[in-house]
């Protein structure tokens, strides 16, 4: 009895102590698809466990806009935001503003992540952020329409995709004039860089800039890839595809108005949601390959880092550790189809049941092509914008592939100047 009282009073004392130290942490997370909802829920679970409060900072949808906003916060050494959700291409750009998590997070915990993603988050030996979810470009298709038009398997090459999309589009347009064959991210922004890198790489055209910083984009295979993509616009893709981002493409596919879509894994869970018109009719496959090339998916993904200007770093680190833990990643994988960054979770039956393609496309996620952010360092954004602008010109018929990659190479040389 005495012991019980002691335990109760001790627990109460601990609770009171932790209450008195309760702090408010501001977490900046994305709002694409279900991101915001899941982010809020995860944060709520952590605050319930620790007694701290979490304020959610809603970020813009376009990753370009988000980076601009964060840079202003960080350059001003603002302590308004404690934890940032960072794109996989940003660590090199922002490393100086973040707490080194090496030593602050147990090595065993860091060891459970994909080593390659941890490496991408490490700049000059400093662990800038912990991997939260990983991403790779996928091809979504309508299983019902494939059957209806007599196809048994998703397209293996871009040429096959074009033929299939054309046939399905021509057939479906009779009943639904807004129906289109293939939607992707054609707006001139970072998303187009991801899509176009997949085309170029799948044709065997390299990665814009190679690992040593050499500009490799000016080659006939890259030019051919861009010309191929341009041939889709207005034939199997709507004219407006050059204004679509992730959510615009998803909107069209999920409304049942497209046969194929290129998007990230998050679109799967939403497409299978109750309000989706294509629920139960979605297939997922690796993206098609170019002639003589192999399928390529651009590596995406988001990480969580703690601002060096945060006033509550210990609590902020604890929040990051909590959100990136296997239990949280499992919830996010099941509810939102966000790819875990922990290999062990790809064998979890509950996760595989919710996302059957996680198991079969495991190699797509582990072999995804990184954008040249490591080689171009602080100039990555300029490189990416020059690339997406050149691709945008080809898609809009303003230039041909060959001419575009040649002038892009000049442009990149101008950006490179004395070095990346």
Stretch that binds another protein, among 155-163, 233-241, 287-295, 367-375 (CB under 8 A): 233-241
Stretch that binds another protein, among 114-122, 266-274, 311-319, 393-401 (CB under 8 A): 393-401
Q: How far is residue 172's CA from residue 280's CA, in Å, rounded to a whole number?
A: 19
Nearer to another protein, 51 or 60 (CB): 60
Nearer to another protein, 185 or 228 (CB): 185
> Contact 314/102 with Cβ under 8 angstroms?
no
271 lies in the site for another protein, by CB under 8 A: no
Q: How far is residue 307's CA from residue 305's CA, in Å, rounded to a whole number?
A: 6
Binding residue (CB under 8 A) for another protein from 134, 188, 207, 224: 188
- Cβ 169 to another protein, closest distance in Å? 13
417 lies in the site for another protein, by CB under 8 A: yes
The angle at the Cα of 382, spanning 380 to 387, to the nearest 5 degrees, equals 95
Binding residue (CB under 8 A) for another protein from 37, 72, 78, 176: 72
Stretch that binds another protein, among 165-173, 221-229, 287-295, 373-381 (CB under 8 A): 373-381
Nearer to another protein, 189 or 365 (CB): 189
Binding residue (CB under 8 A) for another protein from 58, 65, 80, 210: 65
Q: How many residues does the chain have?
A: 420
Question: Which string of DSSP letters, residue by residue, matches 313-378?
Answer: HHHHHHHHHHHTSHHHHHHHHHHH-PBPSSGGGGG-HHHHHH-THHHHTHHHHHSPBPPTHHHHGG
Binding residue (CB under 8 A) for another protein from 243, 277, 292, 353: 243
Q: How far is residue 404's CA from residue 118's CA, in Å, rounded to a whole number?
A: 35
- Cβ 280 to another protein, closest distance in Å? 24
Binding residue (CB under 8 A) for another protein from 31, 56, 64, 335: 64
> Contact 70/94 with Cβ under 8 angstroms?
yes
Q: Which of 26, 72, 74 is nearest to 53 (CA)?
A: 26
173 lies in the site for another protein, by CB under 8 A: no
Nearer to another protein, 232 or 346 (CB): 232
**SS3 call for 309:** coil
> Contact 164/155 with Cβ under 8 angstroms?
yes
The tokens 């050494």 sit on which residue?
Answer: 77
252 lies in the site for another protein, by CB under 8 A: yes
Stretch that binds another protein, among 212-220, 264-272, 363-371, 395-403 (CB under 8 A): 395-403
Q: How far is residue 93's CA from residue 89's CA, in Å, rounded to a whole number?
A: 8
Binding residue (CB under 8 A) for another protein from 23, 36, 62, 352: 62
Q: How far is residue 115's CA from residue 11's CA, in Å, rounded to a whole number?
A: 39
The tokens 């390959």 sit on which residue?
Answer: 289
Binding residue (CB under 8 A) for another protein from 225, 392, 404, 405: 392
CA distances from 78 to 58, 98, 100, 195, 287 (A): 16, 12, 18, 34, 41
The tokens 């191929």 sit on which residue?
Answer: 228
CA distances from 106 to 218, 301, 321, 348 (A): 45, 22, 10, 24
- Cβ 93 to another protein, closest distance in Å? 8
333 lies in the site for another protein, by CB under 8 A: no
Residues in a beta bridge with 289:
157
Where helices occur in 174-283 by DSSP H, the ranges are 190-202, 220-232, 246-254, 266-271
Within 96-135, the residues that bind another protein by CB under 8 A are 96-97
413 lies in the site for another protein, by CB under 8 A: yes
**SS3 call for 319:** helix
Nearer to another protein, 65 or 80 (CB): 65
Stretch that binds another protein, among 234-242, 300-308, 321-329, 331-339 (CB under 8 A): 234-242
75 lies in the site for another protein, by CB under 8 A: yes
Q: How far is residue 107's CA from residue 116's CA, in Å, rounded to a whole number?
A: 15
Nearer to another protein, 94 or 136 (CB): 94
Site residues for another protein per CB under 8 A: 62, 64-65, 67-68, 71-72, 74-75, 93-94, 96-97, 178, 180, 186-189, 238-243, 252, 257, 378-379, 381-382, 385, 388-389, 392, 396-398, 413-414, 416-418
């Amino acid at each position: 009895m005495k012991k019980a009282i002691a335990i109760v009073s001790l627990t109460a004392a601990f609770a009171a102590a932790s209450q008195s130290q309760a702090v408010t942490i501001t977490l900046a997370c994305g709002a694409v698809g279900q991101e915001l909802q899941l982010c809020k829920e995860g944060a709520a679970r952590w605050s319930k466990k620790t007694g701290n409060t979490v304020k959610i900072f809603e970020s813009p949808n376009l990753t370009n806009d988000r980076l601009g906003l964060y840079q202003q916060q960080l350059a001003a050494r603002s302590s308004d935001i404690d934890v940032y959700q960072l794109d996989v291409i940003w660590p090199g750009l922002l490393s100086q503003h973040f707490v080194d998590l090496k030593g602050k997070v147990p090595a065993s915990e860091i060891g459970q992540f994909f080593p390659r993603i941890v490496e991408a988050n490490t700049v000059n030996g400093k662990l800038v952020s912990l991997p939260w979810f990983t991403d790779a470009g996928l091809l979504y298709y309508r299983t019902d329409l494939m059957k209806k038009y007599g196809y048994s398997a998703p397209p293996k090459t871009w040429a096959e995709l074009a033929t299939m999309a054309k046939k399905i589009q021509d057939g479906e347009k009779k009943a639904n004039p807004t129906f289109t064959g293939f939607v992707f991210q054609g707006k001139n922004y970072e998303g187009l860089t991801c899509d176009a890198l997949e085309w170029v790489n799948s044709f065997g055209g390299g990665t814009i800039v190679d690992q040593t910083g050499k500009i490799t984009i000016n080659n006939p295979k890259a030019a051919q890839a861009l010309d191929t993509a341009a041939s889709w616009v207005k034939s199997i893709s709507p004219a407006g595809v050059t204004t679509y981002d992730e959510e615009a493409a998803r909107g069209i596919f999920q409304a049942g108005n497209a046969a194929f879509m290129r998007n990230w894994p998050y679109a799967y869970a939403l497409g299978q949601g109750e309000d989706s018109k294509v629920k139960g009719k979605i297939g997922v496959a690796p993206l098609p390959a170019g002639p003589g090339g192999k399928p390529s998916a651009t590596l995406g993904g988001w990480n969580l880092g703690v601002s060096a200007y945060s006033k509550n770093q210990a609590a902020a680190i604890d929040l990051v550790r909590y959100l990136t833990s296997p239990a949280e990643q499992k919830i996010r994988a099941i509810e939102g189809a966000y790819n875990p960054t922990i290999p062990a979770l790809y064998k979890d039956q509950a996760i595989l049941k919710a996302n059957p393609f996680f198991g079969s496309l495991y190699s797509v996620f582990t072999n995804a092509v990184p954008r040249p952010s490591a080689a171009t360092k602080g100039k990555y954004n300029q490189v990416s914008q020059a690339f997406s602008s050149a691709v945008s010109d080809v898609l809009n018929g303003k230039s041909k592939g060959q001419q575009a990659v040649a002038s892009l190479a000049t442009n990149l040389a101008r950006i490179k100047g004395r070095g990346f």
